[in-house]
Amino acid sequence: MRIAKVVGNVVSTVKDVSYEGYKLLIIENLDGSGKREIAFDAADAGVGDTVLLIADGGGSTIVLDDKEVVADITICGVIDHYTIGDETVPC
């Protein structure tokens, strides 16, 4: 799993039919890479949220609870805060 920040959203009308109805958010990985990617939202996240990502097709199918959709990165949680060592990282 990964931690990322939601930094935007994507509007796309022409896409795979199984993508209908899903919110596509732009996330920035907080693993030091700062890499931005497009993720499916399964946790009702919004811009500014720190989120939990699953980056696997099988996992995404479970999280989205949809056998048809073919997804790779999916937001499966909104993080309140996390700790590294004894340091609490506010989100």
Partner 1 sequence: MYTGKVEGTVVATVKSPGLEGIPLLVVRVIENGKEKGRIIAADSTRQAGTGDFVYLIGSREAGRMFRKPLVPADAAIVGFIDDYNEEL
CB 49 within 8 A of CB 80: no
CB 51 within 8 A of CB 5: yes
Q: How far is CA 38 from CA 24, 77, 82, in A?
A: 6, 16, 23
Cβ nearer to partner 1, comparing 8 with 88: 8
CB of 73 to partner 1, least distance (A): 7
CB of 85 to partner 1, least distance (A): 29
- Is 84 a binding residue for partner 1 by CB under 8 A? The answer is no
Determine which residue in the list 9, 62, 82, 91 makes contact with partner 1, applying CB under 8 A.
Answer: 9
